[in-house]
Chains A and B, each alone.
Chain A
Amino acid sequence: MVKSKDVLLEIEDLQIQGYSDEQWIDIIKGVDLTLHRGEVLGLIGESGAGKSTIGAAAMGYARDGTRISGGSIEFDGMELTTATEEEKRSLRGNRIAYVAQSAAASFNPAHKIIDQHTEAPLHYRLKKRLEAQEDAMELYEKLRLPNPEEIGFRYPHQVSGGQLQRAMTAMAMSCRPDLIIFDEPTTALDVTTQIEVLAAIRDIVDEYNTAAIYITHDLAVVAQMADTIKVLLKGEEVEEASTKEMLDNPQEDYTKSLWAVRSFKRPQKERPKNDVPLISVRNVDASYTGGEKVLDDVSFDVYEGMTVAVVGESGSGKSTTARVITGLLPPSKGEVLFKGEPFPPDYRNRSKDQLRQCQMIYQMADTALNPKVQISEIIGRPAAFYQGLRGSELKSRVDELLDLIELEPSKYYNRYPPELSGGQKQRIGIARALAADPTFIICDEVTSALDQLVAEGILRLLDRLQKELNLAYMFITHDLATVRSIADEVVVMQHGQVVEQGPKEEMFKPPHHPYTDLLLSSVPEMDPDWLTTLLEERGVDNVGEAASSDIDPDAGKVQGTKI
């Protein structure tokens, strides 16, 4: 498609400040940006790089606690930095629309989806209510939502995340804007669902020749969506180039390092021969009080010193399996063995020594650490509880643990979690698990809330600790790149069942269970043509939720043939 080359948005030397600790700090330090009609610009960078702030500024909007302190933002001839609030408001939703990261949080729970959709066209008197509703249904159909006539009349909580994200894209389209800001629209979705949303967004932006700023930290995603890519670091531009050029030939070191992140890979270990598994999950069924079965005949083994990755979409039973192993949720059938001996199903019946063996590290280090407790106590408490250490013994143990996670003891001993960065907090989470001196650690999505470089650091640390302390990991994740880099064996779960398991190298080679195949093929690759090729191969209606619900977990279980 030939795109007209009129400039739609011109940002020059944009400076934005944020208020923290009683003073204004520069968060965007002079960024330029030019966007033509119909062009899609990818903004990438780690959290804190200022991507979202620039996205909001393109609408003339400064979030609470921030202010636009310099530069100019010209949208189609209108200077937004000097425009009145009314003038800016008349653009929003009308000529510039916004698609947020979490559709579940960004739809108002109190109103039907379609009423939120028609709000802007009705407000701007572009359409009558019925017309606007019909238009909404048309957009729902274009975005391949199921039951386009009816889905809008549901409340947001009655619709799945992937569908809601597409409904929000439809809402952004309601006034046929010139520009849409997509702020990490697929970050919160499973890979299988992400494809659907990406395909839908790309089609509709193309069809209406809408310009877009696509904000993400996922390079493979931005490669599918953007014509040009701009890389940001700490509020400053690193470089900008066309997508192809950026992928093939990045100029700056920082960009190269981003591209290289996925390179960490450690050699795959083999199972020890004639050995009893450290943890053995045997035919486990489980359900939450009064609910349906969420685990159905789950069995797998974890051997000493090895890493088993458990993958699957949200709701596939990964975290429930962790709860069964730790004894938080006693299974309704089956059992968990530790070195061949049955583990009491309820953690309350486990001895201190049994409890010590099995520790957890959580996804959100933010909420898993008590913000009002000092680091020394967070790590020291399990050490005191399990080993009975006191006084100077305890202090030297805490120092030793801090050393292990590569944080200088004297510097961090007396600090509190909110003073630390995300990666440091996750390290504290790791140290807390190590304090019990375990043999088995469950890592529940430990890197998914972190930026890629930081996540890589955590993976390297976990790998080193595994070698030094001979730990076994159960690594719950939905990120197959992580699986590739750290796992020895893989367990694939769907609808509470294990559909496939085996050594990693074999898992990434066909033949697969259809669901594994879907998961693997859904992971975006750095090739800009990946999405196009995939959609051609599979067909637009055979991706995401539609495809995964077509797969019967029992269909051709390949389990056993591989082990």
Chain B
Amino acid sequence: MGDILGLIARRLGLGLVILFVISIIIFFMVELLPGDIAQAVLGQGATEDNLAALREQMGLNKPAIVRYLEWLGGAVTFDFGSSIVTGERVTGLIGERFMNTLFLAAYAAVIAVPFAIILGVIVALLRNSIFDRVANVLTLTSISSPEFFLGYILILFFAVKWGMFPAISSLSQGMSLGDLLYRTFLPALTLVLVVTAHMMRMTRAAIINLLASPYIEMARLKGAPPWKVIVKHALPNAWAPIINVVALNLAYLITGVVLVEVVFVYPGIGQALVDAVSKRDFPVVQACCLIFAATFILLNLAADVGAILTNPRLRHPK
């Protein structure tokens, strides 16, 4: 077990290094954008004196490296400074929205991940049957349609024609969980449709890839029925690629949902990012980017660890 802990510690360390490099890139890319922050805040009518005073107040006259270190120092304590548009603390501004995004992602993931894996196992079992082909065509269709289009289709049927679910996810404080789940059902369903195909196809491919292995033939020659061959003998050896694809899709659920949030007017972090970019609210943009990067790194780390834990050779060393 010591080896595994060491391996995890090394991956974690590497993740931190990557995050550090990304923080540099994010900060200085924003720095490179044309225009002057003080000018952006005060508008075209500002006088030189006002601009200079604001720059002094915001610390813009300090060398970039100093400002970077100050920003990084704040970031590690989740203090990303203040919005230059509203003056609010960035953490307060995006904290709640990030929680909303996490909620929606979790909602979609809880449905999509088991659904995709079970479906993947079934199509692997019934490979080349009609069911396999139909499932393939349907999931391919859903993955190739843009998510906003899927969203509008769902709204058209479930909200407009049949009136089963609300088209707009208006959230308010103190809603019951049931209410919350009901109001966010359509965006969650859209996301499920978008991510299922990828995970299902990987599950199918990973399992079928193993079917030529001698130990699968051995299982068959021991008289194991087909479902047992797949579930008991192939699936336990197929986890590594499946976990990786699941992690990528979970990361997408958090960082890639901007369009879905816009379609359903869902108050998530994606919308906050879009707003901030259009208003040149740099501290918010930087904070969002850093959160997205951290999400990706964490989920990939989790996938690596998961793949290690499902490998018996690493779990039970000689």
**Which one of A56, A92, A158 contacts B222 once the chains associate, using CB atoms below 8 Å?**
A92
A63 touching B318, Cβ below 8 Å = no
In the complex, which residues of chain B have a beta carbon less than 8 angstroms from the beta carbon of A123?
222-224, 228
| B221 contacts the other chain (CB 8 A) | yes
Q: Name which of B171-179, B207-215, B297-305 contacts chain A.
A: B207-215
CB distance from B318 to the nearest CB of A (A): 5
State whether the Cβ of B18 lies closer than 8 Å to any Cβ in chain A.
Answer: no
A120 touches B218 (CB 8 A): no
Q: Does A93 lie within 8 Å of B223, measured CB to CB?
A: yes
Question: Do the beta carbons of B222 and A105 come within 8 Å of each other?
Answer: no
Collect the chain B residues with CB atoms within 8 Å of residue A293's CB.
none
A107-B312 Cα distance, complex, nearest whole Å:
13
Report Cα–Cα, A123/B224, bound state, in Å: 8
Taking CB atoms and an 8 Å cut-off, the chain B residues in 207-239 that contact chain A are 212-215, 217-225, 228, 232-233, 236-237
A109 lies within 8 A of B223 (CB): no
Are A91 and B223 in touch, CB under 8 angstroms?
yes
* Bound-complex Cα distance A106 to B219 (A): 9
Does A105 contact B318, Cβ atoms closer than 8 Å?
no
A63 neighbours in B (Cβ, 8 Å): 217
How far does the alpha carbon of A539 sit from the alpha carbon of B222 in the complex, in Å? 34
A175 CA to B223 CA, complexed, in Å:
12
Is B316 an interface residue, CB under 8 A from the partner? yes
Least Cβ–Cβ distance between A555 and chain B, in angstroms = 27
Binds B, one of A94-102, A397-405, A519-527: A94-102
Instruction: Collect the chain A residues with CB atoms within 8 Å of residue B237's CB.
Output: 108-110
B250 to chain A, nearest CB (A): 24
A119 within 8 A of partner (CB): yes
Interchain nearest-CB distance for B37 vs A (Å): 52
B161 beta carbon closer than 8 Å to chain A:
no
Could you tell me the distance between the alpha carbons of A110 and B228 in the complex, rounded to whole angstroms?
A: 14
Residue among B223, B233, B313, B318 making CB contact with A108, cutoff 8 Å:
B233
Chain B residue nearest in CB terms to A90 = B223
Kindly identify, within residues 170 to 213 of chain B, every residue whose CB is under 8 Å from any CB belonging to chain A. 212-213
Q: Is A492 an interface residue (CB 8 A)?
A: no
Q: Are A105 and B221 in contact (CB under 8 A)?
A: no
B222 lies within 8 A of A106 (CB): no
Task: Confirm or deny: A111 has a beta carbon within 8 angstroms of a beta carbon on chain B.
Answer: yes
Q: Tell me the bound Cα distance from A108 to B213 in angstroms.
A: 9
> Are B222 and A109 closer than 8 Å at their CB atoms?
no
Evaluate contact between A106 and B220: CB separation under 8 angstroms: no
User: In the bound complex, what is the Cα–Cα distance between A97 and B219 (angstroms)?
Assistant: 11
Q: Which residues in window 137-178 of A have CB below 8 A to B?
A: 154-155, 157-158, 171
Q: Smallest CB–CB gap between A559 and chain B, Å?
A: 32
Q: Are A89 and B225 in contact (CB under 8 A)?
A: yes
Give bound CA distance, A155 to B314, whole Å: 11
A-B contact count (CB 8 A): 74
A interface size (C-beta, 8 A): 31
Q: Does A124 contact B (CB under 8 A)?
A: yes
In the assembled complex, A59 has its CB within 8 A of some CB on chain B? yes
A61 part of interface (Cβ distance < 8 Å): yes
CB distance from A109 to the nearest CB of B (A): 5
With a CB–CB cut-off of 8 A, which chain A residues contact B217? Answer: 63, 100, 106
Shortest distance from the beta carbon of B136 to any chain A beta carbon, whole Å: 21
Q: Which residues of B contact A537 (CB under 8 A)?
A: none
**Contact between chains at B215 and A155 (CB < 8 Å):** no
B215 near A108 with CB under 8 A, answer yes
Question: Is A6 part of the binding interface, using a Cβ–Cβ cutoff of 8 Å?
Answer: no
CB distance from A421 to the nearest CB of B (A): 23
A64 within 8 A of B: yes
CB neighbours of A107 from chain B (8 A): 215, 218
Chain A: minimal CB distance from B212 (Å): 7
Chain A nearest CB, measured from B289 CB (Å): 39
C-beta contact mask, A55-83 vs B, less than 8 Å → 1, else 0? 01001010110000000000000000000
Chain B nearest CB, measured from A270 CB (Å): 46
- Please judge, given known A-B contacts A110-B237, A119-B224, A123-B224, whether A158 and B215 are in contact too, CB under 8 Å: no
Question: Considering the chains assembled together, what is the distance between the CA atoms of A212 and B306 in angstroms?
Answer: 43
Given A94-B223, A158-B318: A100 and B218 within 8 A (CB)?
yes
Are B312 and A155 closer than 8 Å at their CB atoms?
Answer: yes
Residues of A within 8 A of B232 (CB): 111
Q: Is B218 within 8 A of A110, CB to CB?
A: no
Measured CB to CB, the nearest residue on chain A to B317 is A158
Distance from A329 Cβ to chain B, minimum over Cβ atoms (Å): 23
Q: Which residues of B contact A64 (CB under 8 A)?
A: 212
Partner of B215, one of A56, A105, A154: A105
| A92 to B, closest residue via Cβ | B223
In Å, the complex CA distance between A460 and B12 comes to: 58
Give chain B residues whose Cβ lies under 8 Å from the Cβ of A97. Answer: 221-222
- Please give, as numbers and ranges, the residues of chain B lying within 8 Å of A59 by CB-CB distance: 221
Partner of B316, one of A91, A93, A119, A155: A155
* CB proximity to B under 8 Å, residues A431-447: none
Q: CA separation between A424 and B221, bound complex, in Å?
A: 34
Please determine whether A157 and B312 come into contact, CB atoms closer than 8 angstroms: yes
* Contact B221–A92 (Cβ < 8 Å): yes
CB-based contact A110/B312 at 8 Å: yes
Task: Indicate if the CB atoms of A157 and B218 lie closer than 8 Å.
Answer: no
Q: How far is the CA of A120 from the CA of B214 in the complex (A)?
A: 17
- State A130–B80 Cα separation when bound (angstroms): 61
Name A109's contact: one of B221, B228, B313, B318 (CB within 8 Å): B313
Q: Which residues of B contact A93 (CB under 8 A)?
A: 221-224
- Assess the B222–A120 pair: CB atoms within 8 A: yes
A100 to B222, CA, bound (A): 12
B312 and A105 form a contact (CB under 8 A): no
With A155-B312, A157-B312, A157-B318 in contact, is A106–B218 under 8 Å at CB?
yes
> CA A89 – CA B229 in complex, angstroms?
12
Measured CB to CB, the closest approach of chain A to B226, in angstroms, equals 9
Counting chain B CB atoms within 10 Å of each CB, the highest count among A108, A124, A158, A171 belongs to A108
Q: Which A residues between 116 and 140 are near B, CB-CB below 8 angstroms? A: 119-120, 123-124
| CB neighbours of B316 from chain A (8 A) | 154-155, 157-158
**In the complex the two chains form, is B219's CB within 8 Å of A108's CB?**
yes
- Minimal Cβ-Cβ distance residue in B for A154: B316
Q: Are B215 and A61 in contact (CB under 8 A)?
A: no
Q: Which of B223, B225, B228, B232 counts the most A-chain CB atoms under 10 A from its CB?
A: B223
| CB-based contact B214/A105 at 8 Å | yes
A110 touches B318 (CB 8 A): no
Q: Kindly provide the distance from the CB of A277 to the nearest chain B CB, expressed in whole angstroms.
A: 39
Q: Which of B232-282 contact A (CB under 8 A)?
A: 232-233, 236-237
Question: Hey, what's the 0/1 contact readout for B19-37 against A, CB within 8 Å counting as 1?
Answer: 0000000000000000000
In the bound complex, do residue A119 and residue B312 qualify as a contact, i.e. CB atoms below 8 Å apart?
no
Residue of B220, B225, B236 near A61 (CB, 8 A) is: B220
A94 to B223, CA, bound (A): 7
Q: Which of B224, B236, B313 has a CB less than 8 Å from the CB of A157? A: B313
Partner of B214, one of A61, A94, A100, A154: A100
What are 30 A-to-B residue pairs whose CB atoms are below 8 Å? A56-B221, A59-B221, A89-B223, A92-B222, A93-B224, A98-B222, A100-B214, A100-B217, A100-B218, A105-B214, A106-B214, A106-B218, A108-B218, A108-B233, A108-B237, A109-B313, A110-B312, A111-B232, A111-B236, A119-B224, A120-B222, A120-B223, A123-B222, A123-B224, A124-B223, A157-B312, A157-B313, A157-B316, A158-B318, A171-B222
Q: Which 6 A-B pairs have the closest CB atoms?
A: A93-B222, A110-B236, A93-B223, A92-B223, A105-B214, A98-B221
Listed in ascending order, the chain A residues whose CB lies under 8 Å from chain B are 56, 59, 61, 63-64, 89-94, 97-98, 100, 102, 105-111, 119-120, 123-124, 154-155, 157-158, 171
| 8 additional A-B residue pairs with CB within 8 Å, beyond A59-B221, A110-B233 | A61-B220, A93-B221, A93-B224, A108-B215, A109-B313, A110-B237, A119-B219, A155-B316
